[in-house]
Chain A
Amino acid sequence: MSAFCGKYQDELIANAAYIGTPGKGILAADESTGTIGKRLASINVENVESNRQALRELLFCTPGALECLSGVILFEETLYQKTASGKPFVDVLKEGGVLPGIKVDKGTVELAGTNGETTTQGLDGLAQRCQQYYSAGARFAKWRAVLKIGPNEPSQLAINENANGLARYAIICQENGLVPIVEPEILVDGSHDIDRCADVTERVLAACYKALNDHHVLLEGTLLKPNMVTPGSDAKKVTPEVIAKYTVRALQRTTPAAVPAIVFLSGGQSEEEATLNLNAMNKLKGKKPWSLSFSFGRALQQSTLKTWAGKEENVKKAQSAFLSRCKANSEATLGTYKGDAAKGEGVSESLHVKDYKY
């Protein structure tokens, strides 16, 4: 057979299509305990469970925000957390028309013999974990593969290993009712130009879709979460229109029309940059047989976090900042963003962290 058609087939197709609804996107709130600790530390908040719960409640209960979202990716701890008044977060999301998602990878490990390249772990017992997450209400999953650009990178080994890992993860998810988000992130670190990023992105995506085909993954029940095609972090910036053109061309050359939606990661881009780039892509004329949306973490939460600063009295203002970014990105998926959300505190602040590990 080419595509595996198990008992969840129709549901996977319907959920993947729903996540790609124009005007909606994904909030990536799946920071691991270690990573969210860094975020909290940056606003002088202690990394205890109650604070992690308070932050996510702030986000999920922002009036009006959930309408801009079709999915939220959660870390395992959060999947089982509740609001202060005892309502499971999963129920809050479902009632708001938002599908709960779950990060299922267990981080990266180095590939011996390479120059710091990595592969991603998490396949052990993955099927059982997916079943448990499905029972808890999750309907999609996420697994982050990471590649970098260097003089000899990404190596063929890194490309093959990561593509194969993504494909194995994807089919296991589909066997257990979760739509797999396929995330082959090429880090922005480096002084390379946008052409180099385009070449690498096209090669990596071609390898991913070959692997997905080899592993019988049902493309109509998947999503892609790629990097945008941009110059390296140490290279000269270009306009959103240029990023849009290169990114869409790379996708046209590699991503089959059967994939219903592409939800970009924001990498180290500032909130405003990420929104402007997404907007430019949706304004671009050309063949785009998939919807183009967002799956942003830092680029949706940065100014919200700063505004909150861990203080109860700032919650409303922080929620306002969050709603503002949600709306901006919702408009960007329709190509109608006018740049009016750019006044928030920190929205233009670069979120690039060299050699980002999370």
Chain B
Amino acid sequence: MSAFVGKYADELIKNAKYIATPGKGILAADESTGTIGKRLSSINVENMESNRQVLRELLFTSPNALSHLSGVILFEETLYQKTSDGKPFVEVLQENSVLPGIKVDKGTVDIAGTNGETTTQGFDSLGTRCQQYYKAGARFAKWRAVLKIGPNEPSELSIQQNAQGLARYAIICQESGLVPIVEPEVLTDGNHDIGKCAAVTETLLAAVYKALNDHHVLLEGTLLKPNMVAPGSDSPKVAPEVIAELTVRALRRTVPAAVPGIVFLSGGQSEEEATLNLNAMNKLEVLKPWTLSFSFGRALQQSTLKTWAGKKENVAAAQSAFLARCKANSDATLGKYAGGSADGLASESLYVKGYKY
């Protein structure tokens, strides 16, 4: 057969389509314990479960913020956490029509014989884990594959390994009722120009969709989370319109129309950059058979984090900052963002060389 149609097929299609609702997007709040530790230490907050719970409660209970979101990706710990008055986070999300998602990969490992290229692990008992997450209320999953641009990178081996890994993860998710977000991230690190990024992105996405087809993945029940096509971090910047044109061209050349939505990662972009680029894509007058939205982590939370600074008295202001970014990105999915929610914090680059999370 071509596409596997199991007992969850209709639900997968419905949920994928819902996540791709114009005007909505995803908050990526799935930072692992180690990674969230870095965020908390940047605002001098101790990395304890209670602080991690407080931060996520701040985000999920921001008045009106959830109306701009169709999904939130969670780390496993957070899937089972509650608000301070005892309400499971999953219920907070569900009551506000936000689908809970779950990060299921177990990080990257180096591929021997390459120049620091990686593959992603997490297959062991993945089916069983997905079933447990489904029971706990998760309805979509995320798995991050990472590739880099260099003189000899990405290598054919790295492309094949990561594409195959994404496809195996995707079919296992679909067997267990979770919509797989397929995330093949090409890092921005480097001094390459935007043309190189475009070529690599197209080659990678072509390999990914061939692998998904080989593994019988039902495309209508998936989402794509790619990098935007942009110059390397050490290269001169270009206008959002250029990023939009090359990104959409790359997607038109590789992503089948059966995929309902594309939810971009923000990489090292500042909050404002990410929003302006997404907005430019949605204003572009060219045929786009999938919705273009966001799945932002840092680019939704950065100024919120700084405003909070771990202090209870800052919570309302921090929630205000969070709502502003949610609304800005919601507008960007409709091509209606007019700029201006960018105070100093929102324009801060979030680029970290060799980013591991």
Contact = CB atoms under 8 A, between A and B. Distances in A.
Interface string B266-299: 0000000000000000000001110000000000
Contacts of B288: 257
Contact of A210 (B206, B256, B289): B206
A196 to B, nearest CB: 9
A2 B200 CA distance: 7
A213 B200 CA distance: 11
Interface residues of A, number: 30
Interface stretch (B112-120, B145-153, B230-238, B246-254): B246-254
A198 interface: yes
Contact of A253 (B206, B254, B256): B256
Interface in A2-32: 2-3
A73 interface: no
B36 interface: no
Contact of A249 (B214, B249, B258): B258
Interface string A219-254: 110000000000000000000000000000111111
Contacts of B198: 2
A287 interface: yes
Given A2-B199, A199-B1, A257-B287, A206 B257 contact: no
Contact of B257 (A1, A203, A213, A289): A289
B307 to A, nearest CB: 41
B80 to A, nearest CB: 36
Interface string B187-212: 00000000100111011001101100
B257 A287 contact: yes
Nearest to A205: B213
Contacts of A214: 206
A202 B3 contact: yes
Which of A3, A207, A214, A253 has the most chain B CB within a 10 Å cutoff? A253
A253 B258 contact: yes
A16 to B, nearest CB: 14
B274 to A, nearest CB: 24
A327 to B, nearest CB: 28
Contact of B213 (A198, A202, A252): A202
Contact of B2 (A2, A219, A253): A253
Contacts of A287: 257-258, 289
B198 to A, nearest CB: 7
A254 B257 CA distance: 8
- Consensus secondary structure, chain A interface: helix
Nearest to A198: B2
A2 B203 contact: yes
- Consensus secondary structure, chain B interface: helix
Contacts of A219: 253
Given A2-B199, A202-B213, A203-B213, A252 B207 contact: no
Contacts of B195: 1
A308 interface: no
Contact of B3 (A209, A253, A255): A253
A137 B6 CA distance: 52
A256 interface: yes
B255 interface: yes
Contacts of B207: 210
A199 B216 CA distance: 10
B210 A256 contact: no
A257 B252 contact: yes
A331 B127 CA distance: 50
A256 B254 contact: yes
A209 B206 contact: yes
B178 interface: no
A254 B253 contact: no
B258 A252 contact: yes
B182 interface: no
A256 B209 CA distance: 11
A210 B203 contact: no
Contacts of B203: 2, 213
Given A3-B253, A202-B213, A203-B213, A253 B219 contact: yes
A147 B210 CA distance: 19
Given A203-B2, A206-B209, A213-B203, A258 B257 contact: no
A186 B107 CA distance: 42
A255 B213 CA distance: 12
Interface in B42-83: none
A199 B5 CA distance: 12
Interface string B1-22: 1110000000000000000000
Contacts of B202: 2-3, 213
Given A213-B254, A256-B256, A289-B257, 13 more contacts: A2-B200, A3-B253, A206-B210, A206-B214, A209-B206, A213-B206, A219-B253, A220-B253, A249-B258, A251-B257, A253-B213, A255-B256, A257-B288
Interface of B: 1-3, 195, 198-200, 202-203, 206-207, 209-210, 213-214, 219, 249-250, 252-258, 287-289
14 contacts: A2-B199, A195-B1, A199-B2, A206-B209, A206-B210, A209-B210, A210-B209, A213-B206, A219-B253, A220-B253, A253-B2, A253-B3, A255-B257, A287-B258
5 nearest CB pairs, A to B? A213-B206, A206-B213, A2-B202, A202-B2, A210-B210
